[in-house]
Structure 1
Amino acid sequence: MTLERDAKFGIGDVVRHRLFPFRGVVFDVDPQFANTEDWWLAIPEAIRPAKDQPFYHVLAENEDSFYTAYVSEQNLLPDAVSGPVKHPQTRELFESFDGQRYLLKAGDMRPN
C-alpha cells in the first residue's frame, strides 16, 4: 500500500535546498519518488530521503552553474523572498515572477 501526501510546493514556487547551497524554481512534481534505485542509493545513507514523499524537478542554480535537480520535499524550503532565479530556462517555461512565484506560460512546455 502506498500513501501519497499533498505536495507542499507547486509548479512555479521558488525554493532553496535545506542542506546544499542552491535554489531554483519548481517545474514538475512527482507525488512520490519516481527516479532510479541507483540514483537513490547514490545518496549517502545519513542524508538519504524517504521515498514516500513528493519529489520536485527544479531549475536549479548555485554560484557556479545552472542545472536541473530532483529534490525531496523534506530538503526544500520556500525562498521567494530572495527574488527571482537567474536560470535561463525560466524564460522558456514561465511568463513572469510576481514576487511570490513564477507564472506558467500558456501551452506549458517543460524541459526534457
Structure 2
Amino acid sequence: MDQPRNRKTTSPSTGLAALPVVAPRVAHARFRIGDMVRHRMFGFRGLIFDIDPVFANSEEWYEAIPAAMRPARDQPFYHLFADNGESSYVAYVSQQNLIGDETGDPIDHPAIEALFEQQADGRYALDPQRWH
C-alpha cells in the first residue's frame, strides 16, 4: 500500500523524523576546459581552466557584486585565464555572463603554457604531459 506523500517518516536508526533531501538545481555547463570565451558585458576574453557546477567562491566576493548585476548561484561558474588587451589575470565568471569566442586569436596570459598547448586551429587543449 502506498504511503501518503505528506506523511512524516522516522529514521529506523534514530527514531527521529527524517527530513527530505533537497538537491540544488544545477544547470549544465555550456563550455568546457580549454574553451575560449568572452565576457558578455565587459568584453574581456579568457581561457577556461576550471569549472564549478555552482557558485563556490566566498560570500564576500559574491556580496561585492552590485545587486542588480549579481548572478544566480545555481549555475556553472568558470575560472578563466583572462586577457583584457592591457593586462592578464584570473577571473571567476558565471555562465550567464559568458559567450563563446570564435575569433581564434590567442589569449595572452602567462599561465596558459603551464597547462595547455595551442592547436593549429587556434584552440587550446590540455597538455597531456602536464596531467597529474
Tell me the TM-score normalised to structure 2 length.
Answer: 0.77
Q: Which residue of 2 aligns with 1:25?
A: 47
Q: How does 1:40-79 map to 2 (within 5 A)?
A: 40-79=62-101
- Structure 1: 5+ residue runs without aligned partners? none
Q: 3-state DSSP class of the match of 1:39?
A: helix
Q: Which residue of 1 aligns with 2:106?
A: 84
Pairwise CA RMSD of aligned residues?
1.5
Cα deviations by residue, 1:6-57 (Å, 9 ceiling, x for unpaired): 2000000000100113101000000000001110000001110000000000
Q: Which residue of 1 aligns with 2:13?
A: none
Q: Identity of aligned pairs, percent?
A: 51
| Bigger CA radius of gyration | 2
Q: Which residue of 1 aligns with 2:15?
A: none
- Structure 2: 5+ residue runs without aligned partners? 1-22
Tell me the TM-score normalised to structure 1 length.
Answer: 0.89
Structure showing greater relative contact order (alpha-carbon pairs closer than 8 Å, 6 or more residues apart): 1
Letter in 1 for 2:88: F
Q: Which residue of 2 aligns with 1:108?
A: 131
C-alpha separation between the residues in 2 aligned to 1:52 and 1:7? 11
More helix by share: 1
C-alpha separation between the residues in 2 aligned to 1:97 and 1:15? 16
